[in-house]
Amino acid sequence: MSTREELIKKYAADLKEKCGVTPNMDLLTKVTIGCGPSIYNGDASTVAASQPSELETVKKNFLIKKLGLANTPALDEGLHAVLEKYGHANKHKYRAVVYYLLTLHFKKESVYK
C-alpha cells in the first residue's frame, strides 16, 4: 500500500470516527490528490483551526480558487460549521478531511468529477 493510500485510509477513519460521516472513497481520494504534496508534510497536512490567517488561506485558496465560490459571509459560516463538526477537541484536523467536508457542505462535488 502506498503512502497516499495509507493516508486516505487514515482520513476515512477520521471522517467516520470524529465526524460521523461515511466517506465517498472516490471523492475523498480526489480531494486528497488535489491537496498535492502538502499531505506528506507534517505541518501543511493539518489545518490550524485556531489561527485566523490559516482559515483565511483555506478560504482564499480552497473555497474561492478551487471550489469557485464567491467571497461571502457564507464561506466563514461553512468553514466554522465544518470545523465544529470535526470537533474543537481534535487538535490535528487533517487538511484533506477539512477540504472533503467543505466540498460536501457547499455541494461542490462536481469540481472533482
H/E element holding 93? strand 93-94
Contact 28, 11 (CB under 8 A): yes
**pLDDT on residue 1:** 79
Q: Does pTM top 0.75 for this prediction?
A: yes
Please report, in tens digits, the pLDDT of each residue of the chain (113 residues total).
Answer: 799 999 999 999 999 999 999 999 999 999 999 999 999 998 999 999 999 999 999 999 999 999 999 999 999 999 999 999 999 888 889 999 999 999 999 999 999 98
Q: Domain coordinates of the chain in residue numbers?
A: 3-112
| Cβ atoms within 10 Å, residue 82 | 24
pLDDT, tens digit (0-9, with 9 covering 90-100), for 23-51: 999 999 999 999 999 999 989 999 999 99
Helix, strand, coil proportions of the chain in percent (round to 5)?
65, 5, 30
**Burial per residue of 49-62, b for 16 or more beta-carbon CB atoms within 10 angstroms, e otherwise:** beeeeebeebbeeb
Q: Does domain 3-112 have CATH number 1.10.238.120?
A: yes
